[in-house]
Amino acid sequence: MLANVTLDIAPLLGPALGGDAATIEREASRRELDATALTQLLDLALQPFLWEAAAQLGTLTDMDRWDRGYCPVCAAWPALAELVGPEKKRVLRCVRCGTAWSWLILLCPYCGNDDHRSLRSLQEEGGAQRIDVCERCHGYVKAVQSYAATSAVRVVAEDVATLDLDVAAAGAGYKRPGDVSVEGAGIPRLVREGRALRPPG
């Protein structure tokens, strides 16, 4: 149990930042710890630094020019999409560092699918939240309505508050990030073809 262990996490912060699950799992096994719990602990330790990095980068560059489905700051997949304002502009949000970047409505951030026939939403009648799903890679993104882009801390809270959507998506056979190839993961078709991706706004 992590609460009863004295652990120097500094050597594991690099692997955690780089998504090196194998190294973390080896260390967890060596110390007879739960690998998932250790990964979550490392993510929590990194989060304040990632929030600061995201805030600094946000003042130096236009995040809306980013044309990949993964976060431009820490390379994590989006936790959810905010549908901002009356026009419901789709803004992907990283739960790890809080970064926000605009994204087309009919575009899967995981496999780059832009065929409207294989993109749809699951939503309860009259509900303010929905699950955007891709039938090609079986990935999903939770979507919540927002009047303005929220803070990084609020994104974490929103991700937790919408766990019922994660359960519903998993029950329907979808997962995050879906079944994507390493070579094309997060790269839209237009970008692969050398054309510019222009989110609205």
Q: What is the pLDDT of residues 163-187, one digit of tens each?
A: 999 999 999 999 999 898 877 888 8
Residue 200: band (very low, low, confident or very high) from pLDDT cuts 50, 70, 90: low
Q: How confident is the model at residue 3 (pLDDT cuts 50, 70, 90)?
A: low
Q: How many residues does the chain have?
A: 201
Model confidence band, residue 11 (pLDDT cutoffs 50, 70, 90) = confident
Alpha-carbon gap, residue 19 to 71, rounded angstroms: 13
Query: Residue 121: its pLDDT value, please?
Result: 94
For residue 179, the one-letter residue type is D
The CA R_g of the chain, rounded to the nearest whole Å, is 18
Contact 69, 78 (CB under 8 A): yes
Average pLDDT over residues 148-177: 90
Domain with CATH 3.90.1670.10 in the chain: 64-192
8-state DSSP, 167: H
The CA-based diameter of the chain, rounded to the nearest angstrom, is 54
Question: What mean pLDDT is predicted for residues 123-152?
Answer: 88
What mean pLDDT is predicted for residues 86-93?
Answer: 90
CA trace torsion 123, 184, 105, 81 (10° rounding): 60
Token pair 């980068």 is found at: 57
Beta-bridge partners for 55: none
The pLDDT value recorded for residue 198 is: 65
Q: Which fold has domain 64-192?
A: FdhE-like fold (3.90.1670)
pLDDT at 201: 52
Cα 76 to chain centroid distance, Å, stands at 5
Q: Is 106 helix (H, G, I), strand (E, B) or coil?
A: coil
Residue 40: Cβ within 10 Å count: 13
* CB neighbourhood size of 65 (10 A): 13
pLDDT score of 49 more than 60: yes
pLDDT (tens digit, 9 = 90+) per residue, 98-134? Answer: 899 999 999 999 999 999 999 999 987 767 789 999 9
Is pLDDT of 12 > 80? no
Residue 199's pLDDT band (cuts 50, 70, 90): low
Check if the beta carbon of residue 90 is closer than 8 Å to that of residue 106: no
Angle formed by the axes of helices 35-60 and 10-17, nearest 10°: 70
Give the N- to C-terminal CA distance of the chain in Å, as an integer.
Answer: 48
Q: What band does 4 get if pLDDT is binned at 50, 70 and 90?
A: low
